[in-house]
Amino acid sequence: MGRERAFVSVIVPTCGRLAGIARCLQALARQTYPADQMEVILVDDGSDGDVETAVFSLTLPFPVHCIRQSRRGPAAARNTGARRARGQLLAFTDDDCEPAPNWLTQLVSAHYHHPVAMLGGHTINANADNLYAAASQMLTNFVSQHSRHDPTQPPFFPSNNIAIPRQQFWQAGGFDETMPLAAGEDRAFCAHWIQQGWPLVFVPDAVVQHRQLLNGWSFWQQQWRYGRGAWQWRQRYAGERGRKVANWRFYWQLIRYPGTAVTGPQRLPLTILFLIAQIAVGTGYTYEKLKRKSPSSEGPA
């Protein structure tokens, strides 16, 4: 007899990207994993769009549950979806992502071999002609990969391509809802996960395409937001564990990364964007630090 298949709940937070949601759901409909062993939970984080109409216009082989909440951020949206989920394995992706057909099959296979591990897949840029999207994804992949190989750093997986056993998810406390930005909440959750003594396992064949529609301004805003999230995460993590969060070698390797990983005409502009990103991150970090020290500050924003 074969082993019993895990029932999987795929949780997707969304905030108004209706075209992206349609592409995400269509990609999930192409999964090789049995459709009767999965459900999709969309959590609308206070958007102005009609998510339900967009969903129900599609013909899908699995049930889709739409939940609407007031805008509280992606961390709260993921927790809302997890509360509704009935799967023993929770898979998370985002509304601008398109999982490859064998995404769930790869994650479930890894889950059988590592039943209490957080599983993270490989995410690639889906907009090859968009330098801002390419730089953003390269930055995220570098930081995640570096964290998994540097013993002085807490490893982490970005939350748009992970799977987590439901029981352990709640034992780790879920995502920190006091971090309302789409920045840093996944690093904080991974730090809490490590504190429980559970492993993080990289599943390179669980591929997600990330279709970011970025321009110069939205790229800056994204990295600035990451800087704000980095300050919030650092206060929680460094305060609890006392571990050094980063050092000069990390930043030197990061700035050099496009020059070593990319060939051809994109090398120089990507290197420049990496430098710009670090300025934006530093600006956001400083803003959040000063904001939290201000007497008029009233919690996270």
Per-residue pLDDT tens over the stretch 186-236: 988 998 899 899 999 999 999 999 999 999 999 999 999 999 988 888 887
Per-residue pLDDT tens over the stretch 111-123: 999 999 999 999 9
49-53, 78-82, 105-109, 286-290: lowest mean pLDDT where?
Answer: 49-53
pTM of the model: 0.90
The C-alpha angle with vertex 113 and arms to 147 and 193, in degrees rounded to 5, equals 40
146-150, 190-194, 244-248, 273-277 — most confident range: 273-277
**What pLDDT score does 299 carry?**
44
Query: Which distant-in-sequence residues (6+ apart) come within 8 Å of 98 by Cβ?
Result: 23, 24, 26, 27, 126, 208, 209, 211
CATH number corresponding to 8-293: 3.90.550.10
Q: Is 171 exposed, middle or buried (0-12, 13-18, 19+ CB in 10 A)?
A: middle
Burial 129-138, CB ≥16 within 10 A → b, else e: ebbbbbbbbb
Length of the chain counted residue by residue: 301
